[in-house]
Amino acid sequence: DKGVETSDKGVETSDKGVETSGGDVGASKSSVPSSSPPPSSARRLFDWHLANVEFSNSDTLDRSSFRHWDQDDPHEMQGSHCFVPGGHSRWVHRLCEGLPIFYDSPVRELCYGSSGVVAHCDGRSFSADAAVVTLPLGVLQAGSVTFSPALPPRKSRAIARMRFGTLNKVALLFPRAFWGDQIDMFGRLPSSSVSRGEAFLFYSSAGLSGGAVLIALMAGRAAVEHEKRPAAEA
């Protein structure tokens, strides 16, 4: 779902929207007419793909790196899009089976070196050969955890200049799944470039759970504007 891709089985384009069969999102070769489409339709389709890039980076195009916007693509799991029944937490629960987990033990200092690492918590310490640090960016920027020795300058600079992006998901509940249970996701062509990221892509849970629920994605400037709305309007 990153960037602009083409696929013979992915997308049908029309003035009504972009529909997918659960494969990669992109422009289907078989659906592109031999003659050039009207400029308005071509622009709307182009804006949809721009919104998809903004969704992939959780930011607007003018704040995304032209060089590195797709840097995580080589590390993605290959294959079709899929949903995990019961949520992705099931992966974590399975991987944690048999492992000791200590709650209410926030790490205050992490000492590391050639002999291993020591994590100092409130009232206790843990030693290991290595530590996998997955602290949120906000915690790292706040300096809530001390590293000894201090992190290398290149890492500290990267932490300081990074920031959070904005991406919103809106759950829509309907009396029935009027779109059927055979479509995992489908898109909507924007009416204007300004609102290209507003509900441009929908995920369906009908085929997964049977519920008539669509998850609408808000990306780019549409996501930023959505954040500004009062709770009653959002």
pLDDT (tens digit per residue) in 1-46: 444 333 333 333 333 334 433 333 333 333 444 455 444 888 899 9
Residue 126: name the closest of 91, 166, 86, 99 by CA: 99
pLDDT at 229 over 90: no
Architecture of domain 105-164: 3-Layer(bba) Sandwich (3.50)
Question: How, if at all, do strands 213-218 and 168-173 pair?
Answer: antiparallel
Instruction: Tell me the domain boundaries of the chain.
Output: 105-164, 166-233
Structure confidence at residue 31 (pLDDT): 42
Average pLDDT, integer, range 87-102: 89
pLDDT (tens digit per residue) in 117-136: 999 998 899 999 999 999 99
